[in-house]
Structure 1
């Protein structure tokens, strides 16, 4: 093996002192050990810098920004210095199932023509109770083409090829939906696989506000507009749908909680997902 560290993991962080320990612990408990995590401290003003500087494992590579630049700049900085074969993504307030890296690499080996492996994502609340799951597919090879199908992989949970990711880069003009933009450009006209296992856990129920929900739809308009010359009918349809969503949400947002929208993004977790989540939390909190 030419490069011992096969998986590069990208982690931007801003004021993540309270959540970083679980994210870090979930990496240290991975059953696949050949990874390096590139952590970009995006000008944090809490104790994030001190915590990151205290990490002893040489698989953590830390870079500090003197001031907050924004998520796409932090992601690009990690991408620029990353080394390896594959690239995975982990936000500082999320964490992995212990088998995540191993199962995704296994899928790459089993399906040699694919360029991305996605997996299920589970959303949890501040009490560490899993609330919903975005995972409703069987493992099969699919081809993503702009204008021919909706983008299906769960972005944050995906694993991709690092060299191709470096050639794509991030769009600094987008404040939201940078991940969707990146993955649409990365995967256009290439095959991918989604595995049904729920392997990525995120804290959307506590971090997403009503403003962010609306902003995501707005930036979705900008995202699809870049593909209008290639597939005008598809892009026009998606933009109309996003405009309808924005208008509808503006009307009802004053009367409902943001959690109403979040529940609609996923499905109720199965008994197995509950058990896996609880055992993961117990393991990484030790």
Structure 2
């Protein structure tokens, strides 16, 4: 397993999130400052926030959590449904004694953050979702656009999915790829998508997450995102900012826009 990448001012710890689950947390900023929790997407981990953490830590207690099966967190054999991932994050808050927090999520981390804010609004002061179609908003993907999500069944496939993830990671550099070369982390990636396609997608379409969270929320999308297209949204555009020319990985491509969204009036 590769070493955790280091960033000035960041403290690393492993925090209990359940009876048998420990999650890696990269923390920065004063411990008595208002907290903000950062949740990464796939195929990444806490390091995707490296450009956001230092300026945010000037006046926040920053907690960048590696979700189960990602980064340097535990990799259990099951529990990759997004409700469980949200419950894991609540477990981290409980262990750290954080009663309420600002919450930011990118990609799958945004889906998890949206569920957490819906299920536990008393734990969230405000919510920023990045590069994700929120679980609580109705969307429509025209059939001619379905190809954008064609990678998901491949990643989700038993046996083939983990092999594909490891094979692609073997041809890449950097800490994201290094983690995914590990067999158990590649399997966790496959389960993340398999759980969604086999069960959660139908639940979402049936309205399982209908109704926005009872906290202020905003959505940040890239105008050139190859997968998450702003035009798929049927509602929520008044709370959505689209960055022209920006792609999917906004915490790295446009960290200043993420910080500006957090600084905007709630």
TM over 0.5: no
Rg larger for: 1
State the TM-score, normalizing by the size of structure 1: 0.33
